[in-house]
Homo-oligomer: A and B are copies of this chain.
Amino acid sequence: MGRWPGGTQERLQEAAIELFTERGYERTTVAEIATRAGMTERTFYNHFADKREVLFPEQDSFIAKVREAVGAAPAEQPPLDAVSAAFIAGSDWFDQRQEAAQRRRRILDAHPDLREREWTKLAALGEAITAALRTRGIPDPAATLTAAVSVAAYQLAAARWLADPRHGTLGHHLHTSFEDLHRTARSW
């Protein structure tokens, strides 16, 4: 058990988001984050690989969930539909955290370092989907291309959802984004 009753990572994440919003990402040191969370800089690095990682919690488990959901889809379902359904199945989790997602996005957009990390997370998502599609029997290059375009549609949906969260759930935007994708693909 740790010294603090509540989760240590959550404390650090909250402290980080607070400070990043107050002073900005670059003008906040890891030591300051740790101090506000009531611990030491070294402890921060015991929980996060680096300063950026504090803004990407649970990304790995999200990716794992998507991979599982794609793998568990009905065998006869077309690959793109399987991915779309997998995204939609996990979208409730985000809908319940829209406000936090907005704060996070505002920080991310303001700092190239953080967007850089976001791109690698999306790349990891793409590779996970590729792997899941391959185990479904989809051969390359279809698996790679389908995964890449799925991530693009996912990004599109997330952007729309965050642009105006009252306009619909993430699931709704995912649905329309993948519809847009079908429509666009027909023109290729």
Interface residues on A, range: 20 to 34
A184 interface neighbour in B146, B153, B181, Cβ under 8 Å: B146
**Contact A187/B78 with A149-B145, A177-B141 known, Cβ cut-off 8 Å:** yes
Residues from chain B with a CB closer than 8 A to the CB of A181 are 141, 145, 188
User: What are the interface flags for A35-78 relative to B under an 8 Å C-beta threshold, 1 for contact and 0 otherwise?
Assistant: 00000000000000000000000000000000000000000001
Residue of chain B at shortest CB distance from A124: B119
Q: How far is the CA of A116 from the CA of B156 in the complex (A)?
A: 21
**Does the CB pair B188–A78 fall under 8 Å?**
yes
A78-B188, A145-B149, A146-B188 given; name 12 further pairs at CB < 8 Å. Answer: A79-B187, A80-B188, A115-B123, A119-B119, A142-B184, A145-B156, A145-B184, A146-B184, A148-B151, A149-B149, A181-B188, A182-B188
User: A residues engaging B (CB < 8 A)?
Assistant: 78-80, 112, 115-117, 119-120, 122-123, 141-142, 144-146, 148-149, 151-153, 155-156, 177, 180-182, 184-185, 187-188
